[in-house]
Structure 1
């Protein structure tokens, strides 16, 4: 008998550390508002706002003549909590470059202590706990306030007490659901996002934060003026009464449309003006959005058949294809394991096929027609827990019982599900994430040695043609900042990219070299044939932290989270020389920074394409009634 996974995750923290300032005009950020008393400590979050009728395009934001910051003592980072993301368990970084000894390879994983499951372990009510296929994801653990310098992961004892209290209340309230974002469009348009986001066309690039495929010429060029302006903002939606939080996972880009999941809807916005072009209404929340987009601008989502309530949380049983240009639902399907409807946890697209996985197995349909191609393969003790899409279709097939698990990484035919090649991981590895399908790269937490909450201790480079392991790359959490969610969202990884047969990964933050006592980090490269570092390194710069988003031909596109007195940046890193070219720099005004820095690259969906940067949250929460500060679901920037 299969032993159930460990007990529940904690519910989401009340968002709103360092909330954005109330704009002076609808849709636009307020300029140069002085800090409120208690600045630098967690603030009471703002009440979620019901999305208004889209405002007219916002005029450019003019930065002040001198940066405004706290005047007492040396500069401090304004509170930049990830209002829509959830940093994992804080970890003291080890000395950069000092490898940590990973856990015994292939050793069975041990369940976490009750109430404290490790990253990547299902909680109560999630698929796999008690009744596979009928659970629903729990709210995330509480977000932690970043340290000065942008994006730090430590937080103090006082914050921990607040977090624990709110978590206890949230457990009583119940009814909340959450899905991490991150996704990435994957393909010809090369608009794959970091965690959280995706863009691009099917078949050309990899999952969230990563890409695969052969090299091509970079498409993103530096404009004459890299200074950006705020194009538009979308207020955070108001969650239904009696619901703690609702997922808003999923964002996509086409040449003309920026599309984003709201509460029980997907909305298409003019990507330059932010005006609504169309809305696809759904009967229940979007559980998960694929990071893949086909050549004709179609994507796939999973949603619930009705709105959740305290007594009926609903399961994620519906799979649909959305036409992002026409703004319509093409089809919606469900599948059964035996007589029971399947609650799906991940969905992807490859080769004209939509494939969705779960703890009850996987199913697939034709993108164009909705014709079912296969149902769950339950003839043995194995099941397809999920799929990675793009250039290839890769299944993560689970065999055996809990703590005696063996994962089979299979490249399969997208039309028939037939196995083409297979790599069997060592027994005892419970979860794996598909970082890229071509070249094939898988991330896993071996022996639960990644105790930093990243879900990654090692990367596995696998030969697509033979199914043999090319090399294994050790990536201790104390040194590297990439994250993956291998439990449900098998393609949801952040802080990395794959291209040119290399793995590009962000290092953990460490003390900078300046006099401001700020944090910084780098992007380094590993050769996927040898597993060794290439010696290439791109520095974030003092006070910045850098996160790879996706590949752009042979170059790496990365987001730089800013220090306290600057705006964020998008840079292109030359894949050969590692020379950085700035493509965008956002306004440095306090109000704009407050909104931007809430969108943590670890968890928010970040899409960049054709001079446009779109940052969005992955859930809406009701933890906001005690404040009149405004929360945002989306903020978009553009260059001239």
Structure 2
């Protein structure tokens, strides 16, 4: 596996990363002493539904054109009883040395297919099929370098690839190929080679989608393509002291610019016209900031780290790029920006803050883990985007931490984990205006390696079309049976899904 330079990127051992999960492991061990852990398999619990209230009214769907970034609104299923819809296992991991991983960046789903990036390919699995074999496999001709969480309204997305090159080639390790594909069919719709991308690597390449546009930035350059045909729209390689470090897509296109070097480095955020790359406004971030993430383009939201690389504040802007509010994270909140892959900048990091979600009027942020086993494991706090004031709180339960997944109209979809054999994990929707919780799915996850499948530090969690998918971002061989296939992804749906 050649991801360069440097020649060997993935050198941080699993043991070194364990220090970042000490508190979580403490809670897991405490739970093991108090309750029986979930056994392998899905299900094994009863639901008493006689006195359940009727399902909440479903939000009206948003009409979108095919090239817009998808914004689906989930329906409340007739029954929240979960059932297995997809199970993916990955074999051949025994060839990796101790501590090495098979990287699996990228997780997407439509109403028909669950798709998963795996090293140098993308595989699609038919949802609800009897077979565990992929329905299609898209060979990429090189390892995945960057992915995007965004999907178009008609089910297309993109990856950046590091093409295979002869050993010693001056462009060996360069990530300069964009592949745009259909998730339902696995068909490659187009691919393009990024000009002047000799400094694009897995450590600095960021990819996003916005309406009709695929955009890539790698620090010393950027480029945008038309979704319809792969035609280049603009190239951001300029002789400027500020460089495009990454983009945030979705409803709009924001660019993160790094200006200067070392202790004098500063950041700017620009809103760009997606078709031309021209800046519509510029927001200058205060000096002393060490890192900036863009968890939302519309409304514009910045997550900034002052002093070190841990996020200290969230900043909301208005439609004209003017400051609205600053929300201090202090020592209480955990937006999880840049925390994937042992906090290394692999596969694109600018848009990923896994501990928070952004709606039109509110920001939802998870708190840090609570060490007291008699208290809720954590909370999700809603903040008003205009004022920065708190605007509601959703509590986890002892041994049942909660994580924001994404907004669902005016509500928030939440994953509530569980370490109990008797209390299932769940996907629920929370209305912060009424404080009402609506169950969507109840299930038990297979017990794997201290719960990595349901841990946002290790796995993607995607909710789409009434299903929830848990997918590991990196895999290693089973220490007791190295040749055994390892659980990579699980998809769960409802026995009573309404279409």
Query: What TM-score do the two structures reach when normalised by structure 2?
Result: 0.80
CA deviation map 1:287-306 (0-9, x unaligned): 22211111222101011112
Rounded to whole Å, the distance in 1 between the matches of 2:200 and 2:399 is 46
Going from structure 1 to structure 2, the CA distance change for 1:227 and 1:295 (only over 3 Å counts) comes to closer
Match of 1:578 among 423, 435, 452: 435
Rounded to whole Å, the distance in 2 between the matches of 1:426 and 1:150 is 42
Going from structure 1 to structure 2, the CA distance change for 1:587 and 1:603 (only over 3 Å counts) comes to closer
Rounded to whole Å, the distance in 2 between the matches of 1:145 and 1:304 is 36
CA deviation map 1:259-318 (0-9, x unaligned): 111231111111222552211112122122211111222101011112898999723222
* Structure 1 alignment gaps of length 5 or more: 16-85, 93-143, 153-187, 191-199, 206-215
1:524 partnered with 2:381: yes
CA deviation map 1:504-543 (0-9, x unaligned): 111112145xxx6576111111111111112x11111222
Counterpart in 2 of 1:24? none
Rounded to whole Å, the distance in 2 between the matches of 1:310 and 1:521 is 50
Going from structure 1 to structure 2, the CA distance change for 1:442 and 1:228 (only over 3 Å counts) comes to same
Match of 2:338 among 467, 478, 485: 485
Rounded to whole Å, the distance in 1 between the matches of 2:88 and 2:226 is 33
Counterpart in 2 of 1:369? 229
Rounded to whole Å, the distance in 2 between the matches of 1:434 and 1:287 is 19
Query: What TM-score do the two structures reach when normalised by structure 1?
Result: 0.63
1:416 partnered with 2:276: yes
Counterpart in 1 of 2:299? 439
The structure showing larger relative contact order (alpha-carbon pairs under 8 Å, at least 6 residues apart) is 1
Going from structure 1 to structure 2, the CA distance change for 1:9 and 1:234 (only over 3 Å counts) comes to closer
Question: How far apart are 1:627 and its partner, in Å?
Answer: 4.7
| Partners of 1:227 and 1:587 within 8 A in 2 | no
Match of 2:105 among 249, 256, 260: 249
Match of 1:568 among 397, 411, 425: 425
Match of 2:467 among 598, 605, 612: 612
Please give the secondary structure, in 1, of the residue aligned with 2:307.
helix
Question: How far apart are 1:444 and its partner, in Å?
Answer: 1.4
In angstroms, what is the RMSD of aligned CA positions?
A: 3.4
Question: How far apart are 1:150 and its partner, in Å?
Answer: 8.9
Rounded to whole Å, the distance in 1 between the matches of 2:9 and 2:162 is 21
Going from structure 1 to structure 2, the CA distance change for 1:359 and 1:88 (only over 3 Å counts) comes to farther
| Partners of 2:253 and 2:297 within 8 A in 1 | yes
State how many pairs are aligned: 444
Please give the secondary structure, in 1, of the residue aligned with 2:179.
strand
Counterpart in 2 of 1:164? none
Question: How far apart are 1:331 and its partner, in Å?
Answer: 1.7
Rounded to whole Å, the distance in 1 between the matches of 2:291 and 2:313 is 12
* Structure 2 alignment gaps of length 5 or more: 1-5, 33-59, 340-344
| Partners of 1:510 and 1:521 within 8 A in 2 | yes
Counterpart in 2 of 1:227? 81
Rounded to whole Å, the distance in 2 between the matches of 1:223 and 1:295 is 25
Rounded to whole Å, the distance in 1 between the matches of 2:490 and 2:28 is 22
Match of 2:285 among 421, 425, 450: 425
| Partners of 2:241 and 2:260 within 8 A in 1 | yes
Counterpart in 1 of 2:141? 283
Question: How far apart are 1:342 and its partner, in Å?
Answer: 3.3
Question: How far apart are 1:12 and its partner, in Å?
Answer: 3.9
